[in-house]
Amino acid sequence: MFFLRLKFMTIDGVSHGASNSPRLGRRVTAARLQAGLFGFWTALVFAFLYIPIILLVVFSFNSSRLNIRWEGFSTRWYGELFGNKVLIDAFQNSLSVAIATTILATLLGTVGAWMLYRYKFPYQRALGLLIFIPMVMPEVLMGVSLLVLFVQFLHLPLGFLTLTIAHTTFCFPFVLVGVQARLQGLDPFLEEAAMDLGATPLQAFWKVIVPYLMPAIVSGALMSFTLSLDEYIVSVFTTGAQSQTLPLKVYGMAKVGLNPQLNALSSIFILVTFLFAFGSYFFSRNKKT
């Protein structure tokens, strides 16, 4: 198979072989020290990322309604959460919009980045600037102008479709910029070699370029999913009653105190994600060894 050989040639040259240089010992120590320091730092940063999350989980078991002081252990909020159809529906809406957005944004961003890299289109620099507009445009401007566009020009009913379009619009630049960065310095002979070995451009893209871009695609997808899940202002203006997402229910809740059911919901979601992530980790590890 041609792509297997190519992979061997250029992608991921994981060669852990030790070098035979004379000053090996000192350099290995220095490299280890660097890895150790970076590892320690990484652990610190992970602690920083998870501090509020630990608090959030702890407070999901707090008996107090106000999310501020610990007053005793209770599983009350978990019980109430399962009876709260509105919150669970909103969460489901958030998830389906985030998933649809992730798929669309990843497709648009990846294909767009590749085409802009591979070909020289006219006005390419202007095109490259346009992509940043949704990123810099304040959310309220984007929300209101998309609302006017949907309602007055396109006559689309507000709901899942309009919400997904709006979210995709501000998410795909994140994918595109990430994939562009990964493409820089790509071996130009990678695609050509594949085609010399008889692959069509589509095959070359699918079997050689996409695997090479995969880390950037995954990163872009993760970013899109996260951005979509948490968007409030754009959502207010571009959704309808049938697609009320979680942030729409949460904002404005602060005035009576954020409902600890939300902590319970977040805790469960994190737990499920962890189980899934660690599960796939052990799966992939067992496959390797």
Partner 1 sequence: MSLIAAVSGVHDSGGYRRPPNLVAWLVLMPLLAWLFLFVIVPTVMLVVVSFAERDALGRIVYDFTLQNYIRAFDWLWLKVFLTSIWYALLTTLICMFVGYPVAYTIGRAPLHWRGLLLMLVMVPFWTSFLIRTYAWITILSKDGLLNSLLVSAGIFSHSAEILYTPFAIVLGLVYNFLPFMILPIYTSVEKLDNALIEAAYDLGAGPVRAFSQVIIPLTRPGIAAGAMLVFVPSIAMFAITTLMGGGTNPTIGEVIFKQFTSGRNQPFGAALGTILLLIFVLALWITRKYREED
Partner 2 sequence: MKKTITLVLSALAAILVGCGKAPEAKKLSVFCWSEYIPQSVIDQFTKETGIQVSVENYASNEEMLAKLTAGGGEYDIIQPSEYVVEALIAQKLLHPIDKTKIPNLSNIAPQFLKMSFDPDNSFSVPFMAGTVGIVVNTDLIKDDIKSFSDVFKPDNKGKIVVLDDAREITAWALLSQGLAINDMSDANLDKVKPVLANWIPLVKVFDSDSPKTALLNGDVAMGVVWGGEGAILLQSDPKFRWIIPAEGTHLFIDSLAMPKTAKNVENAEAFMNFILRPDVSKKISDAFPYTNPNLAARKLLSEEQLNNKASFPSDADIAKMQVFRDIGTQGSKIDEIVTSVKAQ
Partner touching 78 among partner 2, partner 1, none, CB below 5 to 8 Å by kind: none
Place of tokens 């409902």: 259
Interacting stretch for partner 1, rule CB under 8 A, among 1-9, 77-85, 223-231? 223-231
Pick 29 or 242: Cβ nearer partner 2: 242
Q: What angle do CA 25, 28, 31 make, to 5 degrees?
A: 150
Does 276 engage in binding with partner 2 (CB under 8 A)? Answer: no
Does 211 engage in binding with partner 2 (CB under 8 A)? Answer: no
Q: Which of residues 10-49 bind partner 1 (CB under 8 A)?
A: 11-16, 19, 21, 23, 27, 30-31, 33-35, 37-39, 41-42, 45-46, 48-49
Does 77 engage in binding with partner 1 (CB under 8 A)? Answer: no
Phi-psi region of 252 (alpha: psi -120 to 50; beta: other; left: phi over 0): left
Place of tokens 């660097």: 34
DSSP for 219-232, written as a single string? HHHHHHHHHHHT--
Smallest gap, in angstroms, from Cβ of residue 79 to partner 1?
19
Give the torsion sign (CA, 223, 226, 229, 232). Answer: negative
Smallest gap, in angstroms, from Cβ of residue 244 to partner 2?
6
What is residue 156's DSSP assignment? P
What gap in Å lies between CA 131 and CA 173, rounded to an integer?
6
For residue 33, give both structure tokens: 């020290």
SS3 assignment, position 198: coil
Q: Which of residues 141-180 bind partner 2 (CB under 8 A)?
A: 144, 147-148, 150-152, 158-161
Place of tokens 């730092």: 41
What gap in Å lies between CA 5 and CA 278, rounded to an integer?
31
Partner touching 110 among partner 2, partner 1, none, CB below 5 to 8 Å by kind: none
Pick 31 or 210: Cβ nearer partner 1: 31
Does 189 engage in binding with partner 1 (CB under 8 A)? Answer: yes
**Contact positions toward partner 2, by CB under 8 A?**
66, 68-69, 84-86, 96, 100, 103, 144, 147-148, 150-152, 158-161, 236-237, 239-242, 244, 248-257
